Structure 1
Amino acid sequence: MMSMDSGDDLDVGLGYDDVAHGSVSLKTKFWPWHKPRKQYIRNKQWNTAAANLIDHLRLKEKGRSLQYLSLPGSDLLDVRSLYTVCAAKEVRLKFIGLNEITAGDKEATMDQLISINELHGLQYIDPSSDVYEDQLERLCVDKSIAQEHIIKRASSYDVINIDLCRSMLESPPQEKQSNYYDALFKLLRHQADNRTEDWLFFVTTRTNQDMVHEGAFRKFVEALEQIFDLDEAVYNKCNELEIFGKEVLVERRIDVNKVDAPSYNNLVSAGIGKWVLSALAGRPPAHKSKMLQLFGYNVVQREGDACDMMSFGFWCKHIPNKAIDAFGLAGAGANLNAEDVAAAVSRARLTIVESVSKLINVDVHMADDDVFEEMLHSSTSLMKSARYDIASYVDWARDDHGKVKSWLANRGIA
């Protein structure tokens, strides 16, 4: 049976031999998301949580597909990886994707068509799966491809995975142009307004200071300080775990002049967690979001920096509305034993703080050669399924691994 989270068997049934098209040249151009450390996140974060959700929702017993929304790129690597989880559990995967392709880029267009065709030939792929060419930011644009296919044609999704190369926080707050804030908020509220089952939300974003708008950072600082004034437990937990540093958080206020790179990263990470929770729980129908294990790594290797790419995961759950008959006719009411929203939000805030304090630095973990070899084996299977030249890929991945290890060693980390 296929491993549900390692991806080691990705070459089984995922090759291009069964696809009816012309001869295919193996690809030799590689991108940052091809690195084995990305496979670490696919396996340890995305696939593990998705496997748990499939079991929790009892999708096999119900005969229902896993509804998955992502930004898959032309290779559909995340879909290929998640497919192994679904196949192992004998559950169909219905993938819906958004992928922006530059006008006239025939190579990327053809690559995407071949990838979709390959996946459609697999046993556990829902035939209605597809990828649409548009930007995530256009979800809020009336009659856009993104809005018509992602919002209007789907009641909700089991898993939403927004894997960004840039920062979701790069625009000024409340900017009138289409941006990530509006698109992600619309997605989160679409889920909250239309779903009662549990679901997963993943977002990967740059968090370094030069890619986060100062106005967004200030919004996070203000929001966190408001929480400290209202929620003693959260303030005490931040002090206990010292996620912002002793000199940064003093008497419920954040001294932005004393924020260093690790503190900045933790402030932004906590802010993103709180923003997701607020979007879901801010108005009924309310959902709470439990922040899962937080993963990070460095895109840019600069001296003294913290991780600058963070991968967030949230397990989201509907909170039923308590209701009493205002006329006084019905005595029992409805959902009177349901969880109190304020208490649920407070507990969710604590999970954000705890998750930030236990960040897994993927670069450090993968400095262990055994861990690297495990992820390289897994990502090699994935890349083979997507028609890459494996000899070239392994050389490229090993070369990058050596550079990261040297950088970490020079910093005295590994």
Structure 2
Amino acid sequence: MMATPDDEETAEGLLEVYQPEPVHALAPTKVFAAWHHPRKQFVRIRQWCSEVRKLIPQLGLAGGDPFRYLTLPGNELLDIRALHGVCQPLGVKLRYLGFNSVGPNTPDQAELALSQSEVRTLSSIDEFSSVIEDRLEAVANDRSPASARARQAGPFHAINLDLCDSIAFREVGHAKGSPLEALGKLLSLQLNSSTPWLLFITTKAQPALLGDFARDGFTLAIDANVDASAEFRARLAELVAVDLDQLKADLAAIWGKQDAQFLRLFCLGLGKWLLGILSHAAPPRQLKLLSSCYYQSGPDGPDMLSLAFRCEAPVHAVKDVYAILPAPDHPPQFSEIECALDLSAGVGKMFDLDDLLAGDKHLQSKLIAQAGQLLSQARYSEAEYAEWAEAKFV
């Protein structure tokens, strides 16, 4: 049975995230784009805002403490506007570092500048927040200003890589840079964190946009657990609905098909790659897939993944070799295999977001209403948005 989020929790999140803010004068020339679809509002609420709202109290942040957030915000800073509505009632400041490669003297740059001016007036935006007009991939260059800013601002409580393209297409050394290489640099930076943190990834997932280097690396990461754990092997075969006796051959075929099996395998491979890096850190880090969904952006079926991960270091007890202190209760030892099994269980709960929304008119209406309120802060007409958004479900 397809796993779906709890309707009551979703509705509660929709009601709580937004706080009254000034509505700006409308710009009638503005047109709606793919990222204004109501399903994107579901991602903002159910994944990003929901998980940040859970994490802030666990971090002990209060009294104007900064919640440090790295993002690819887009020209209208919609995720930042939404997360401000989470931070404000919790009494913390949202300190964001954004990357947006708008060109100089373009309408995109003008929109970004205006949106930044609007966002800076919000009550719970930290004064040290900024958007760098550069690509995320610049972070991979240790000598770049973008890398220096990331090191200065981090480690982060949440990283949101909301990509329009594939995270796994361009390899290291590509002229435009590699998103995976940039993510690797960010993971290195995050090893300085001693507290839990969130990683959100939205990526196109298509066989044609999966580089050989990434597919091979994801396969090696998965095979490491297939060879080490019979339980993982069996769970993987069930997850992608293949014959256990010819698992590896069937997996190789899945990499070439655009379907739900491919999306699950892509997610598991990406997650195992991340876990491989984090589990070999000192101390090792745990990685949990909190939620995952997919939807269709092109003509050939579902091809976008929206993923939410949580990373944290397990607790280590003090070791007193001279027995002056009482013997501590030893926490469970870290197990990469257990983390991989948990990751596979998380992938098994992945759901089709388009299918979910198509069958829930009530949720559609709530998403449209809340997205309209959010977009009105960026100078859109709520009425025009409602008409545009409702047509997406006809």
Within 5 Å, which residues of 2 pair with 1:282-293? 282-293=280-291
The superposition leaves residues 188-233 of structure 1 with CA deviations (integer Å, 9 ceiling, x where unpaired) of: 12101x1101111111111111211233223222321221111233
Retained in 2: the 8 A contact 1:11–1:385?
A: no
Residue 246 of structure 1 aligns with an amino acid whose one-letter code is: V
State how far apart, in whole Å, the 2-side matches of 1:349 and 1:334 are: 31
Q: Which residue of the partner structure matches residue 136 of structure 1? A: 136
Q: Which residue of the partner structure matches residue 379 of structure 2? A: 387
Q: Which residue of the partner structure matches residue 13 of structure 2? A: 5
Q: Percent identity?
A: 27
State how far apart, in whole Å, the 1-side matches of 2:27 and 2:232 are: 55
Residue 161 of structure 1 aligns with an amino acid whose one-letter code is: N
Retained in 2: the 8 A contact 1:92–1:126?
A: yes
Retained in 2: the 8 A contact 1:207–1:268?
A: yes
Q: Which residue of the partner structure matches residue 407 of structure 1? A: none
State how far apart, in whole Å, the 1-side matches of 2:12 and 2:88 are: 8
Q: Which residue of the partner structure matches residue 234 of structure 1? A: 232
1:320 Cα deviation after fit: 5.2
Q: Which residue of the partner structure matches residue 255 of structure 1? A: 250
- From 296, 303, 312, the counterpart of 1:298: 296
State how far apart, in whole Å, the 2-side matches of 1:297 and 1:116 are: 30
SS in 2 for 1:126: coil
Retained in 1: the 8 A contact 2:217–2:273?
A: no
Q: Which residue of the partner structure matches residue 313 of structure 1? A: 308
Q: Does the C-alpha gap of structure 1 residues 144 and 250 become closer, same or farther in structure 2, counting only changes over 3 Å?
A: same
1:246 Cα deviation after fit: 2.2
SS in 2 for 1:293: strand
Which stretch shows the higher mean deviation, 392-401 or 256-265?
Answer: 256-265
Q: Which residue of the partner structure matches residue 161 of structure 2? A: 162
State how far apart, in whole Å, the 2-side matches of 1:68 and 1:154 are: 9
State how far apart, in whole Å, the 2-side matches of 1:232 and 1:83 are: 45
1:397 Cα deviation after fit: 1.5
Within 5 Å, which residues of 2 pair with 1:24-43? 25-43=27-45
1:311 Cα deviation after fit: 0.9
SS in 2 for 1:41: helix
The TM-score with structure 2 as length reference comes to 0.88
1:384 Cα deviation after fit: 0.5
1:393 Cα deviation after fit: 2.1
SS in 2 for 1:13: coil
State how far apart, in whole Å, the 2-side matches of 1:8 and 1:321 are: 36
Q: Which residue of the partner structure matches residue 211 of structure 1? A: 209
Residue 273 of structure 2 aligns with an amino acid whose one-letter code is: W
Q: Does the C-alpha gap of structure 1 residues 76 and 334 become closer, same or farther in structure 2, counting only changes over 3 Å?
A: farther
1:175 Cα deviation after fit: 3.9
Q: Does the C-alpha gap of structure 1 residues 315 and 100 become closer, same or farther in structure 2, counting only changes over 3 Å?
A: same
Q: Does the C-alpha gap of structure 1 residues 281 and 80 become closer, same or farther in structure 2, counting only changes over 3 Å?
A: same
Retained in 1: the 8 A contact 2:293–2:305?
A: yes
The superposition leaves residues 63-93 of structure 1 with CA deviations (integer Å, 9 ceiling, x where unpaired) of: 4121111000110000001111111222221
1:137 Cα deviation after fit: 0.5
Unaligned runs of 5+ in 1: 18-23, 403-414
Retained in 2: the 8 A contact 1:323–1:333?
A: no
1:123 Cα deviation after fit: 1.4
Q: How many residue pairs were aligned? A: 379
SS in 1 for 2:313: strand
Q: Which residue of the partner structure matches residue 242 of structure 2? A: 246
The superposition leaves residues 342-363 of structure 1 with CA deviations (integer Å, 9 ceiling, x where unpaired) of: x1x2222122211211112110
State how far apart, in whole Å, the 2-side matches of 1:273 and 1:14 are: 40
Q: Does the C-alpha gap of structure 1 residues 228 and 171 become closer, same or farther in structure 2, counting only changes over 3 Å?
A: same
Q: Which residue of the partner structure matches residue 3 of structure 2? A: none
1:160 Cα deviation after fit: 0.7
SS in 2 for 1:102: coil
Residue 393 of structure 1 aligns with an amino acid whose one-letter code is: Y
The TM-score with structure 1 as length reference comes to 0.84
Question: Once superposed, what is the RMSD of the aligned Cα atoms?
Answer: 2.6
Retained in 1: the 8 A contact 2:24–2:376?
A: no
Tell me, yes or no, if structure 1 residue 114 matches structure 2 residue 114: yes
State how far apart, in whole Å, the 2-side matches of 1:94 and 1:171 are: 30
Q: Which residue of the partner structure matches residue 268 of structure 1? A: 266
Which stretch shows the higher mean deviation, 226-235 or 269-278?
Answer: 226-235
1:257 Cα deviation after fit: 5.5
State how far apart, in whole Å, the 2-side matches of 1:340 and 1:264 are: 33
Q: Which residue of the partner structure matches residue 361 of structure 1? A: 352
Residue 166 of structure 2 aligns with an amino acid whose one-letter code is: S
Q: Does the C-alpha gap of structure 1 residues 288 and 111 become closer, same or farther in structure 2, counting only changes over 3 Å?
A: same
Tell me, yes or no, if structure 1 residue 185 matches structure 2 residue 184: yes
Residue 330 of structure 2 aligns with an amino acid whose one-letter code is: N
1:142 Cα deviation after fit: 3.4
Q: Which residue of the partner structure matches residue 73 of structure 1? A: 74
The superposition leaves residues 145-189 of structure 1 with CA deviations (integer Å, 9 ceiling, x where unpaired) of: 3112112x12411111110000001124x4465311110011012
